[in-house]
Amino acid sequence: MELPESNSTGDDKSVGFEAAKKIILRWDSTASEDAKEKMIFESDRQEADLYLQAVDEIQRSLSNASLSDDRSKATTIQIAMARLEDEFRNILITNTAALESESLTDPTSSSSVHSHLSSRSSNFEPEEEFILNTEKLLELEHCESADSSRGRSTSSIREMDLMPPEAICDLHAIAMRMISAGYLRECVQVYGSVRKSAVDSSFRKLGIEKLSIGDIQRLAWEALEGKIRRWIRAARVCVRILFPSEKRLCEQIFVGVGTSIDDDCFMETVKGPAVQLFNFAEAISISRRLPEKLFKILDVHDALMDLQPDIEVVFDSKSSDSIRVQAAEILSRLAEAVRGTLTEFENAVLREPSGPVPVGTIHPLTRYVMNYIGLISDYKQTLIELIMSKPSTGSRYSGDPTTPDMDFAELEGKTPLALHLIWIIVILEFNLERKSKQYRDASLGHLFIMNNIRYIVQKIKGSPELREMIGDDYLRKLTGKVRHAATNYQRATWVTVLYCLRDEGLHVSGSFSSGVSKSALRERFKTFNAMFEEVHRTQASWIVPDTQLREELRISISEKLIPAYRSFLGRFRSHIESGRHPENYIKYTVEDLETAVLDFFEGCVVSQHLRRRSQ
């Protein structure tokens, strides 16, 4: 049924108006059960069109009519608006339900640099574990190139269609009427409340939880790590897909009615969720500075940094200032947290109180620190920008025995990050020295230092980035220390042993033998044997993990021991052999000793007695 054309002039186009009023009253849901049961916009198209035309008619006549009719018209309009509000809400709700079954996925492909790296910092499950099935969204997957460097354009934003176009059309039609009748506020409120619940349920699907700062502080680290990973993926989806899609929906529904309206609706919808999203990152930035958290904090920092340009684009209106500001604040707090955590790490390395390890091998602290440094160099790109000041070495040259000294003057031209790395190694060495003094056997202390510094050297050499940052000068210093420790070890162990094989003290003048004191000689052999056996027994159980170093050390020992023994034997064996029980004194051949040296630093327990080939 077509409404008759209304003429622009004149009187109360009563025919058009009356018919329109009838339509509106017919659909008054407070007046009839039938009106309440059915929805206009779920019925056929014609009903909806008719209704809208009726509303328009009333509106038109309201602006032209005389005062006396106003009240009933105003009531009619109110009834129409209340009805439209219901319809609006209904269309939103119906079409929102359809959306929720769509899957949401992280638009960053798993080949991005940092997600690869984060696999090294913890036991890492593949990116795919999170991703649900994604027919429609696969095209969004590959929008990121492998280069996930910062400051790129926001081509990473992808808007999804949240509603079928017919629904959007209807919503727009209704919104127009409501707004022109002065019912903008109701419209915005309904829109906001329905869409916000949609966003909330998407959040739940993405695994974004409502965690307080207290909750996060109480979480065990492994649990928190998992949540951080999930958050990073979720944040990318929210900022790059979810929020922009909502924004576009607002723009589509409220097109042509002034930009601030769609802004307001957008903010109604996403402000709360956005703040909730960022609250998590904020909580991370506030948490206690535990060294093991450094890399996850860096991950959050980098993820947020990556999202900055997109955040600027999505939240570009005046009313969303606070969100942009909060994101920037959080980013800078995360940077602070990174710096603080690094400092805390340095303190922890300095303080670490455990004793030395048995058999002088690599201390877990050394492994941990070198592993940590390795990860630092992986995250070099970000850290170089974040670490801006030299390490605070506290008392430099203060003579304070509790902190090492470091002269930064000779390290000109290095980035602060590199200085920190060197400082960390200096602290580690310092701590290791402290530990080495706790060995009862000084030789073992030296071996310990030798092994650990060697480990450090090898780790640095094994990583080009690390080597480049630490520099060959310092590397040389460290290598020198290894050598020095080896020398110390040799002196500590072998000087006394070789002392047995010296010439002096054996020759006696005026004796009727060939000038050698047999008793002294026997003493010497006995002492040598005992000492060597002891050293052999002990040091066979010691460990030098580095194969090359082990070989070198053994060779170095042999080089001193074997010729000395051979020469001693050569000069004095006859004196012993001419006496009684020579086998008690000359227990070992040169070959025996050579073989025995091979046992050194193998880390195994040998039987009390050396193998003997003699006799």
Partner 1 sequence: MPATDYQGTSSAPFSNFGRSILSLRRDQVHAMEGAHDGGVQVDELEAFQRQVADLFLNLSSASASEELLSLAWVRKLLDSFLCCQEAFRAILYNNSAQVLRPPMDRLIGEFYERSVKALDVCNAIRDGIEQIRQWEKLLEIVLCALDNNDQRALGEGQFRRAKKALIDLAIGMLDEKDSGQTLAHRNRSFGRNSNSSHASRDHHHRSLGHFRSLSWSVSRSWSAARQLQAIGSNLAAPRGNEILATNGLAAPVYTMGSVLLFVMWAMVAAIPCQDRGLQVHFNIPRQFVWAAPLLSLHDRIVEESKKRDRKNACGLLKEIYQMEKCSRLLSELADSVQFPLTEEKEAEVRQRVKELAQVCETIKEGLDPLERQVRELFHRIVRSRTEGLDSLGRGHHPE
Is the Cβ of residue 200 or residue 405 nearer to partner 1 in the bound state? 200
Which of these ranges, 341-349, 367-375, 477-485, 591-599, lies near partner 1 under the rule CB under 8 A?
A: 341-349
Q: Burial letters for 392-414: b for 16+ Cβ neighbours within 10 Å, e otherwise?
A: ebeeeeeeeeeebebeeeebeeb
Site for partner 1 in 36-55 (CB under 8 A): 36-37
Is 97 one of the binding residues for partner 1 (CB under 8 A)?
no
Given 24, 50, 79, 178, the residue binding partner 1 (CB under 8 A): 79
Is the Cβ of residue 275 or residue 530 nearer to partner 1 in the bound state? 275
What's the rounded Cα separation, in Å, for the pair 346 and 425?
10
Is 189 one of the binding residues for partner 1 (CB under 8 A)?
yes
Which of these ranges, 119-127, 129-137, 205-213, 298-306, lies near partner 1 under the rule CB under 8 A?
A: 205-213
- Do residues 514 and 575 make contact, with C-beta atoms less than 8 angstroms apart? yes
Pull the structure tokens for residue 427.
């602290």
Beta pairing partners, 516: 507
Is the Cβ of residue 329 or residue 591 nearer to partner 1 in the bound state? 329
Given 190, 261, 386, 535, the residue binding partner 1 (CB under 8 A): 190
What's the rounded Cα separation, in Å, for the pair 187 and 257?
13
Environment class of 449 (CB within 10 Å of its CB; exposed 0-12, middle 13-18, buried 19+): buried
Is 12 one of the binding residues for partner 1 (CB under 8 A)?
no
Which of these ranges, 27-35, 249-257, 436-444, 570-578, lies near partner 1 under the rule CB under 8 A?
A: 27-35
Beta carbon of residue 579, minimum distance to partner 1 (angstroms, whole number): 57
DSSP 8-state class, residue 543: B
Is 147 one of the binding residues for partner 1 (CB under 8 A)?
no
First to last CA, the chain: 127
Cβ count near 84 (within 10 Å): 27
What's the rounded Cα separation, in Å, for the pair 223 and 293?
12
Environment class of 436 (CB within 10 Å of its CB; exposed 0-12, middle 13-18, buried 19+): buried
Environment class of 15 (CB within 10 Å of its CB; exposed 0-12, middle 13-18, buried 19+): exposed
Cβ count near 454 (within 10 Å): 24
Which of these ranges, 185-193, 302-310, 511-519, 600-608, lies near partner 1 under the rule CB under 8 A?
A: 185-193
Beta carbon of residue 46, minimum distance to partner 1 (angstroms, whole number): 23
What's the rounded Cα separation, in Å, for the pair 64 and 85?
25
Is 288 one of the binding residues for partner 1 (CB under 8 A)?
yes
Is 64 one of the binding residues for partner 1 (CB under 8 A)?
no
- Do residues 411 and 419 make contact, with C-beta atoms less than 8 angstroms apart? yes
What's the rounded Cα separation, in Å, for the pair 156 and 138?
14
Q: Which residue has the tokens 């606070």?
A: 322
Is the Cβ of residue 391 or residue 445 nearer to partner 1 in the bound state? 391
Given 15, 74, 388, 495, the residue binding partner 1 (CB under 8 A): 74
Q: DSSP alpha helices (H): ranges in 209-293?
A: 213-218, 221-237, 243-253, 259-286
Is 389 one of the binding residues for partner 1 (CB under 8 A)?
no
Query: Count residues contacting partner 1 (CB under 8 A)?
Result: 67
Is 172 one of the binding residues for partner 1 (CB under 8 A)?
no
Is 496 one of the binding residues for partner 1 (CB under 8 A)?
no
What's the rounded Cα separation, in Å, for the pair 481 and 489?
12
Beta carbon of residue 320, minimum distance to partner 1 (angstroms, whole number): 14
Which of these ranges, 115-123, 271-279, 362-370, 460-468, lies near partner 1 under the rule CB under 8 A?
A: 271-279
What's the rounded Cα separation, in Å, for the pair 407 and 146?
41
Is 398 one of the binding residues for partner 1 (CB under 8 A)?
no
Given 138, 275, 388, 598, the residue binding partner 1 (CB under 8 A): 275
Beta carbon of residue 198, minimum distance to partner 1 (angstroms, whole number): 10
Residues of this chain that interact with partner 1 (CB under 8 A) are 29-31, 36-37, 67, 70-79, 81-82, 86, 89-90, 93, 182-183, 185-186, 189-190, 193-194, 196-197, 200, 209-215, 217, 271-272, 275-276, 279, 286, 288-289, 322, 329, 333, 336, 340, 343-344, 347, 350-351, 353, 392, 394, 400, 402-403, 431, 434
